């Protein structure tokens, strides 16, 4: 059973998303801090199954995901 605490990257790992993995399975239901993905940027491009999406943060602190 997984904790409901947000996932943060393993500081000893060169890949900040390594903390999201549990063996060979991705952790689906565990919250992830947005700064792990954004890394101080206001937007990132995500490629999901061949489609590009943009995740961006607004001045009000909201997240918007668009195609």
Can you list the alpha helix ranges (DSSP code H) found in 1-67?
Answer: 34-38
H helix count then E strand count, the chain = 1, 5
Distance CA 57, CA 34 (A): 9
Distance CA 35, CA 42 (A): 10
pLDDT of amino acid 32: 84
Q: How far is CA 65 from CA 1, 14, 18, 57, 62, in A?
A: 29, 26, 23, 9, 10
pLDDT of amino acid 35: 92
pLDDT of amino acid 30: 81
Going along the chain from its start, the domains and CATH numbers come out as 1-32 (no CATH), 34-67 (2.10.70.10)
Q: What is the pTM (predicted TM-score) of this model? A: 0.57
- Within the chain, which residues score under 50 in pLDDT? 1-4
């Amino acid at each position: 059973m997984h904790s409901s605490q947000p996932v943060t990257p393993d500081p000893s790992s060169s890949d900040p998303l390594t903390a999201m993995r549990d063996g060979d399975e991705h952790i689906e239901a565990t919250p992830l801090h947005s700064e792990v993905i954004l890394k101080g940027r206001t937007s990132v491009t995500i490629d999901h199954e061949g489609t590009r999406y943009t995740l961006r943060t607004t001045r009000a602190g909201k997240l918007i995901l668009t195609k």
